[in-house]
Amino acid sequence: MRIIKPLALAMALSMSAAAQADVTLTVPENVNLLVANGEKVELSSGLFSSNNTLVLPNGENQIVFRYEAAFNKAGEEISAVSDTIIAKFTASDSQASFVLPDYKSYRSAEKNISNLKWQLVDQSGNTIAKVEDKLTKEGMQLGRDYVDEAKDYNQAGGKAAIVLAGGAGASTAIALQKTATTNAQSSAGANTAKQVDSGTAEEMLHFWYNRADKATQQRFKDFINQ
């Protein structure tokens, strides 16, 4: 069997994963998306749409959000706000959208929103399987750091927990990839260059392999076994 170095496999797998289309999550105005894959969210909005979008990598993803149902009462806007929800789901090469309850009154929203019934669906209307939980914090709720709370939740192994490379999100993986690429290029130009840290290569390998779809994973298994 031909053995390839972990770094070479990690780089090859990262390029293969990058070649795949991503998952585009459409986020309506009444959803406050707080964290995605361990990082604070920056949404982009369309020119002709009030909805925002977030591009996520193929594979398993995790989001943290709240749903806010707004109503007008005597000329004043009031809102019923859900608990903070943390959820994981797996999707590839698709567009995902929220399906949320349309409460007819503030009283109905206030009564039912703590037990929020919601879904994610793809562009064909098919339900995307998810695992959800409530991200809770003891004591006062002001000034919450949802990134840290999600990190602690994942480390504690909650039912909606995911494993992130280095304990961070996609930007960390990209940073690891850039570091490995720079080191690899430097080693090619010098006979005595230091090898890339094996821990970094292993983190990259696990991260990109877990994010690749089943077909990509199988192609790399076949490649290794050649």
In this prediction, residue 4 carries a pLDDT of 41
Residue 91 near residue 129, CB atoms below 8 Å: no
In this prediction, residue 191 carries a pLDDT of 43
In this prediction, residue 183 carries a pLDDT of 44
In this prediction, residue 221 carries a pLDDT of 77
In this prediction, residue 138 carries a pLDDT of 78
Residue 80 near residue 113, CB atoms below 8 Å: yes
Separation CA 226–CA 208 (nearest Å): 21
- Could you tell me which residues come within 8 angstroms of residue 4 by beta carbon, excluding any fewer than 6 positions away? 223, 224
Q: What pTM was estimated for this model as a whole?
A: 0.63
User: What averages of pLDDT result for each successive group of 10 residues across the chain (226 residues)?
Assistant: 43 43 91 96 63 92 97 90 97 96 94 96 96 87 87 96 67 37 43 43 64 68 74
In this prediction, residue 201 carries a pLDDT of 59
Structure tokens at 193: 């260059």
In this prediction, residue 215 carries a pLDDT of 65
